[in-house]
Amino acid sequence: MISTSTARICVVGSLVVDLVVWLPYFPRKGETLHPSRFQIFAGGKGFNQAVTARRCGAEASLVGRVGMDAFGEMLFQLMEREAIDGRFVARDPELGTSLGIPMIDPNGDNSIIGIPRANTRLSVQDVRAAQPVVADSHVLLLQLEVPLAASIHAAQIAQGAGATVILNPAPAHLPLEALLPSEMSQAGWIDWLIPNEVEAEMLTGRPVRSVEDARQAARALLACGVRRGVVITLGAQGALAVTQDTEHYAPAFPVTPVDPTGAGDAFCCAFSVALAESRSLEDALRFANAAGALCVTVAGAEPSLPYRASIERLVLSGGKIRSHDSLS
């Protein structure tokens, strides 16, 4: 079994600065609202997942692109603080750092406006330059906030080196067959696919409202060439993992949500770290569910990403969250 100090996670993905507003409700057409609160946080699926990897005890490297601006400098400072290997995060001389504008209502639900900028310029050449860290990882973690060609190239490098490739297909807009070239799906370059219920519905074209719906969607996604398994996260209903031979369901840990931003990223990376440590699928699901649960109890993406000790305490407690657990 790989120890927590040697598990290596490489994330190829987005870096974003979030400008978060808390609203009394989501605005209607033509309406101007004044937020009750405003804060600036680091985020982006790539950045969030790399931070989670470090806080879960793994070594983390990040491949991405930011602008040559104050937002990019902020992200570099945070990567240094978190001890993330950011050598292969490029500075774009023309486009600024990507921005997000999450809007959160009193129930903790959110809508997000994304301004992708530098993330759209992550290239195959950028990934090729990062080949040493991609090939040296135990797990390569990918999402869909950067150009697909860069992610596919990273997956090819990782697969050739024997690493596990995990795709979090977020945000998903098309059926899986259209999203991923058929020849790549048939080659089986994805080991694990981890969508939420909305993404699973978009990828399969079938509604995902229940655990049984998720089971059927997962089977359909497995048929598209996923090598090892599909995990569908279901929010308050928990998560379901399906492989060709088995399945495991893990109920969610009950929490009072404050801000769901980053919860999916925390889940995906915690699951990745657990797999890198050769933990069982059942243990990996519970560990990931606990990470996601802790994340939604704190506002902002980066501040809410949980530490390993807090995740393990929640798993051992059977669901009792202490007020400071996601912060230590």
Catalytic annotation, residues: 265
Q: Is the separation of the CB atoms in 152 and 189 below 8 Å?
A: yes
**What span, in angstroms and rounded, lies between the C-alpha atoms of 173 and 177?**
12
Query: Cβ of 322: how many Cβ atoms within 10 Å?
Result: 13
Residues whose CB is less than 8 angstroms from the CB of residue 60 and which lie 6 or more positions away in sequence, other chains included? 8, 9, 10, 11, 50, 51, 53, 54, 82, 83, 84, 85
Beta strands at 37-43 and 164-167: parallel, antiparallel or unpaired = unpaired
Residue type, 327: L
- Of 58, 80, 74, residue with least CA distance to 11: 58
CA distances from 274 to 4, 17, 102, 282 (A): 9, 28, 29, 10
